[in-house]
Amino acid sequence: MSAQRGSNEKWTILRMLEWITGYFEKQGMESPRYEAEVLLEYALKMQRIMIYANFDRPLQPNELDVIRPMVKRRGKHEPMAYITGSRGFYNIDLKTDQRALIPRSDTETLVEAALGLLAKEDVETLKVVDIGTGTGAIALAMAHENKKIKMAAVDVSADALSLARENAEDLGLTEQVSFYEADLFAGLPSEWVSALDMVVSNPPYISESELDVMSKGVKEFEPNLALFADDDGLALIKRLVPEAFSALKPAGWFLCEIGFAQGSSVKSIFEQHGFEDVKVLKDLGRNDRVVMGMRPRS
């Protein structure tokens, strides 16, 4: 991409949008025009409506210097959220980079259900543990919405936890959310391994056999540690379910994100370990997305 489209023809916003769209089409992007618009929104710090209102405006050399490397990165299928460095999730904005999995809108299904259950609790403080916190998306979204929540956000990845802490600081939630590097509940302080109101988790649940059908951006850029699990994707869930049961108070809830084909299997695992009122929730795409169950009241 040069600064000009001919000897005297400069890049305008419209020509750049058309060029990026065509380039992304050649790279096999699913939504090339939309992605081109998002990239220009971020690079030019303009809302989309202003991009359309300024189609004929020539781009300045400093703007081209910002756009070029972004187009190159996205052309290699690096996720847009890593390029822009942020992703919106359930009323909050999160810093995103390759230290952690990019938050997905499907995970908002879990947050919505969890907050609905906790809203019924008439107590001063709610103790919740988030296993596999990544960017901190679930923990921070829940804490942001309900000031009664005291959250322990847990991950085995020190890199992910550093990112989650940065997000907590940016959102002013460091008083509500504590962070721990741990394997599930192992090594957590005693107050976080018993009598919890709720456990939430978006664990690795993708089978290695699904690697071939995953997008290039996910396979090559997002951390495999946060994606894949043995035993058809169920290995970590099988470990987590009994530990969550033990950590909950009577009538406490565990909500776990799952793969679209795992609903019946994970529901059975919950029931085998003593959970009651076990339900499978669907995401906006009508796919199985969350299994939730309650520890019996007595």
Residue 215: pLDDT over 90: no
Do residues 176 and 218 share a domain? yes
Which residue, among 93, 103, 112, 144, has the nearest Cα to 255 in the 3D structure? 112
Tens digits of per-residue pLDDT, 39-92? 999 999 999 999 999 999 999 999 999 999 999 999 999 999 999 999 999 999
Residue 212: pLDDT over 80: no
Map residue 265 onto helix, strand or coil. helix
Residue 2: pLDDT over 80: no
- Is the residue at 51 inside a domain? yes
Domain tally for the chain?
Answer: 2
- Is the residue at 6 inside a domain? no
> Beta strand pairing status for 177-181 and 149-155?
parallel
- Report pLDDT for 157: 96
Which residue, among 106, 99, 174, 188, has the nearest Cα to 140 in the 3D structure? 174
H-helix or E-strand spanning residue 86: strand 86-89
Q: Which of 76, 103, 120 finishes a domain?
A: 76
Q: Burial of 297 by CB count in 10 Å (0-12 exposed, 13-18 middle, 19+ buried)?
A: exposed
Q: Which of 23, 46, 76 finishes a domain?
A: 76
Rounded CA separation 115/64 (Å): 44
Task: Specify the pTM.
Answer: 0.90
Residue 211: pLDDT over 80: no
Can you tell me which residue has the tokens 């919740």? 128
Rounded CA separation 235/297 (Å): 28
Which residue, among 295, 188, 180, has the nearest Cα to 246 in the 3D structure? 295
How big is the chain, counted in residues?
A: 298
Do residues 112 and 71 share a domain? no
Tens digits of per-residue pLDDT, 237-293? 999 999 999 999 999 999 999 999 999 999 999 999 999 999 999 999 999 999 999
Can you tell me which residue has the tokens 């020509």? 15
| Domain CATH number, residue 47 | 1.10.8.10
Residue 159: pLDDT over 80: yes
Do residues 45 and 184 share a domain? no
Do residues 68 and 98 share a domain? no
Residue 216: pLDDT over 80: no
Q: In the chain, what percentage of residues exceed pLDDT 90?
A: 84
Query: Which domain covers residue 257, as residue numbers?
Result: 86-294
Name the more confident of 28 and 270. Answer: 270
Residue 228: pLDDT over 50: yes
Residue 107: pLDDT over 80: yes
Map residue 203 onto helix, strand or coil. coil
Can you tell me which residue has the tokens 């009577």? 250
Do residues 70 and 164 share a domain? no
- Is the residue at 3 inside a domain? no
